[in-house]
């Protein structure tokens, strides 16, 4: 990656699409970002509502966080406590 290119991390609630290569996740699978892990100022990894940890380079933004995606994320995270 060029040194002058700044990677802007996704945020909690952002809806993303998997675009990488993986034996488990399929291309175009949709995920909602739960957590952000910063390995360096240019390298991020994310946990998702589907139980994945995925690198930034393997995701594409579908839509920014909104009330709908945050509500879905909240419902899924609170239903795990049942």
Query: Given this model, what pLDDT does residue 30 score?
Result: 95
pLDDT of residue 56 exceeding 60: yes
Q: Which two tokens stand for residue 5?
A: 């290119």
pLDDT digits (tens, 9 = 90+) for 15-50: 999 999 988 888 999 999 999 999 999 899 999 999
Whether the predicted pLDDT of 3 surpasses 70: no
pLDDT at residue 82 is higher than 80 = no
Residue 26 confidence (pLDDT): 86
Pure H helices in 1-82: 67-79
Cα angle 4-54-11, degrees, rounded to a multiple of 5: 65
Q: What is the pTM of this model?
A: 0.85
């Amino acid at each position: 990656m060029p040194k002058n290119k700044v990677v802007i991390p996704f945020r909690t609630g952002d809806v993303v699409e998997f675009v990488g290569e993986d034996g488990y996740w399929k291309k175009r699978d949709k995920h909602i970002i739960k957590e952000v892990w910063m390995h360096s100022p240019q390298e991020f990894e994310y946990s998702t509502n589907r139980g994945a940890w995925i690198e930034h380079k393997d995701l594409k933004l579908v839509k920014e966080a909104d009330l709908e995606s945050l509500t879905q994320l909240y419902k899924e995270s609170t239903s795990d406590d049942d």
